[in-house]
Structure 1
Amino acid sequence: MNILVTRIDAIGDVVLALPICGYIKQSFPGARVSILARKYTKAVVDASDSIDNFIDYEAVFAMSPNEQIAFIKQFKFDAILHLVTHPDLNKLAKDAGIPIRIGTISRPYHWLKCNRLVWLRRKQSDDHEALLHFRLLRPLGIKKAPEKIWQYYQLNHFAELPDEFSALLNTDKFKIILHPKSNGNALEWDLKRFSELIALLDPDVFRIFITGSEKEKIELESWVEGLPSHVVDLMGKLPLNQLISFIRKTDGLVAGSTGPMHLAAATGINTLGLFPKNRPKHAGRWGPVGPKVGYIQTKTEDLDSISAWDVFRKIKQWKKIRDTKSVLH
């Protein structure tokens, strides 16, 4: 079986698409899975064994309509799963003659372009985004998601880190990443709270890294300049493939609902997400999924009520567990 999955949004969304792709490959031995996604998310796909082929969404839709059809036809897909969709994608899938076209019944433009419709209203669901994906497998005979879906991320391919960044990890200190921004995709914990948390983290015990994009670095320039000298500023310094490698070699990450939060969960490190209570932004829908994850969810529609001490207590628990395991080994 040759299947195309679409997820044309952000890094975290593509991370959460990996489990369904990995499960398809397990459920249909010999199956080939491709993903149509944005170019800047390609490093996520390259790191995973759950997906065989990456198709650049922007490159496809830079083609003429006839070129798009010819391009998609060459792959001879048996089915397409619209995990997230757009009317143009639906039209292309039908025009390219993909036999099984699966979408949600809640999108009117699916009614004419998809021939397998699944009842699903994301905003009204209590299920996690990664679990909601699995409902789209019902037309293929898969009725429920597996347990421990994080086992299907299958992140096994990591870029080599330049020496200057590898050297930063050469320490017995508890290595923690703080990722304050979200590229405007989620609510953000106040920078004052991050500063308060940094003040609680003993520099003799913790090595602290700040991550973010180059654009976010410019936004936070004055805040970063005011941080203590022992805090390592990595904002804008690591391309995504190297950021993934760096994250997996640290001990924990704290962030709002962002791509790096989901990457941290997928690599298996301690991950703490900060969330509001309101739908559809709550942790039940977008929380980290992995073997060492947790979250703090407010009772309000913002993150202001989460204190630095709330987060510090979680980090201390992580360190205690790590230190206990070190003694046992």
Structure 2
Amino acid sequence: MNRIVIARTDSIGDVMLTIPMAGILKAKYPETELIFIGKSYTEAVIKCCKNVDQFMNWDILEKDPHAVQELKLLNADLIVFSLPNIKLAKLAWQANIKNRVGVSRRWFHWVFCNDRPQFSRRKSDLHEAQLNIKLLEKWIPSTNFTLEEIASSYGFSPTIPLPERFSNLLKKDSLNIILHPKSQGSAREWGVKNFQQFANLAVEKGVKIFVTGTESEGQQIRKNFRFSDSIIDLTGKMNLHELIAFINATNGLVAASTGPLHLSAALGKIAIGLYSTLRPIHPGRWAPLGPKAKAITYEGPIDSNLKIKDDTTLELIPPDRVLREFF
């Protein structure tokens, strides 16, 4: 097999849980060229994966009147739709990519795909990364990978050295911990108050804290968060390449179920994820994968009729409970 395409056109966290597919396919087909189609926002992430040989920007391809020809020029033997995308599936069909893999539960895959694995993500007890690998059932000897095996397939590392203006902020001979309080609405959140309490407790133990996020998230955080010489505001100050390099230079990160959490896990750092226990957003489906990654949930009683939109139990996780994971 000469060229394989993986397509995942959504957010950082979802892409991170798809990247191990590249390592697994490379292990089976070491000579193949692996191409990843993703959005502009995730390009920096995908380029950190040593198992991906080429990135194709979906935001550009989607608007390209010659998109079919561009896909034909790839001369790909196989394309795998980790995320169903009707427009891209149609383009791949029009480009006559020989093998087109998409889950059977999307009607348009019956039109545009010729390999349609049958499984339900909604009803499954498997992790999202394991579900992604189920798409490869025809192409690898077994799709039964443990979470530890998947974590070892990331092949993930920074592509740039950490700029000096950030490395100079790190505290020598002490823990440096990143807090990423917001999730751009993609997950239930722990709350700025809990992150503040965590930061205060950590500083008492000599830890240096860094708060990350976009500038718009920073504007929200700064309304209710106190910074100091030991609690540094880095919101809006880094691009994604720099954030990845910075995470790699620290000891770990605390966040809800969001992209930077999965970046930290893939880099082998302490990655503490704060999760709801409710399906389908529970850690069984979305936990970070890595040798030092851990998901924490509220351990008290929960109303069996609780709906996701009303779930605030994550905010009841004590900050000192989370801090203990670093000591």
Identify the TM-score tier after normalising by the shorter chain: over 0.9
Return the offset for 1:223: 2.4
Return the offset for 1:165: 0.5
Return the offset for 1:158: 2.7
Q: Deviation per CA, 1:240-294: give whole Å up to 9, x if none.
A: 0010010011111110001000000000001100000111100011000001111
Q: Where does structure 2 lack aligned partners over 5 or more consecutive residues?
A: 303-310
Q: State the alpha-carbon separation in 1 of the partners of residues 187 and 113 from structure 2.
A: 31
Q: Deviation per CA, 1:183-203: give whole Å up to 9, x if none.
A: 111111111111111221134
**Structure 2 equivalent of residue 312 of structure 1:** 323
For the structure 1 residues 91 and 200, does the alpha-carbon distance in structure 2 shift closer, same or farther, using more than 3 Å as the test?
Answer: same
Which residue type is aligned with residue 87 of structure 1?
I
1:179–1:253 contact (8 Å) kept in structure 2: yes
2:28–2:140 contact (8 Å) kept in structure 1: no
Q: Secondary structure at the match of 1:273?
A: strand
1:160–1:245 contact (8 Å) kept in structure 2: yes
**Structure 2 equivalent of residue 183 of structure 1:** 184
**Structure 2 equivalent of residue 29 of structure 1:** 30
Which residue type is aligned with residue 98 of structure 2?
P
2:227–2:233 contact (8 Å) kept in structure 1: no
Deviating more after overlay: 303-312 vs 270-279 = 303-312
Runs of 4+ residues over 3 Å off in structure 1: 299-302
**Structure 2 equivalent of residue 322 of structure 1:** none
Which residue type is aligned with residue 59 of structure 1?
I
RMSD (Å), alpha carbons: 1.4
- Counterparts of 1:210-221 in structure 2 under 5 Å? 210-221=211-222
Q: Secondary structure at the match of 1:118?
A: coil
Q: Secondary structure at the match of 1:279?
A: coil
Return the offset for 1:229: 3.8
Which residue type is aligned with residue 93 of structure 1?
A
Q: State the alpha-carbon separation in 2 of the partners of residues 135 and 125 from structure 1.
A: 11
Deviating more after overlay: 305-314 vs 177-186 = 305-314
Return the offset for 1:221: 2.5
Q: Does residue 266 of the first structure (1) align with residue 277 of the second (2)? A: no
Return the offset for 1:204: 5.5
- Counterparts of 1:84-95 in structure 2 under 5 Å? 84-95=83-94
Q: State the alpha-carbon separation in 2 of the partners of residues 159 and 142 from structure 1.
A: 36
Q: Secondary structure at the match of 1:49?
A: coil
Q: State the alpha-carbon separation in 1 of the partners of residues 252 and 140 from structure 2.
A: 38
Taking structure 2 as the reference length, the TM-score comes to: 0.92
Q: Secondary structure at the match of 2:116?
A: strand
2:189–2:315 contact (8 Å) kept in structure 1: no
**Structure 1 equivalent of residue 305 of structure 2:** none
**Structure 2 equivalent of residue 116 of structure 1:** 115
Which residue type is aligned with residue 279 of structure 2?
R
Greater helix content: 1
1:210–1:234 contact (8 Å) kept in structure 2: yes
1:255–1:272 contact (8 Å) kept in structure 2: yes
Q: Secondary structure at the match of 1:144?
A: coil
Q: Where does structure 1 lack aligned partners over 5 or more consecutive residues?
A: 317-329
2:203–2:209 contact (8 Å) kept in structure 1: no
1:126–1:284 contact (8 Å) kept in structure 2: yes
Identity %: 36
**Structure 2 equivalent of residue 105 of structure 1:** 104
1:195–1:227 contact (8 Å) kept in structure 2: no
Return the offset for 1:228: 3.7
Deviating more after overlay: 31-40 vs 226-235 = 226-235
Q: State the alpha-carbon separation in 2 of the partners of residues 45 and 142 from structure 1.
A: 25
Q: Give the count of matched residue pairs.
A: 313
Which residue type is aligned with residue 63 of structure 2?
A
Q: State the alpha-carbon separation in 1 of the partners of residues 64 and 159 from structure 2.
A: 32
Return the offset for 1:298: 2.7
Q: Does residue 20 of the first structure (1) align with residue 21 of the second (2)? A: yes
Return the offset for 1:145: 4.1
1:203–1:230 contact (8 Å) kept in structure 2: no
Deviating more after overlay: 209-218 vs 262-271 = 209-218
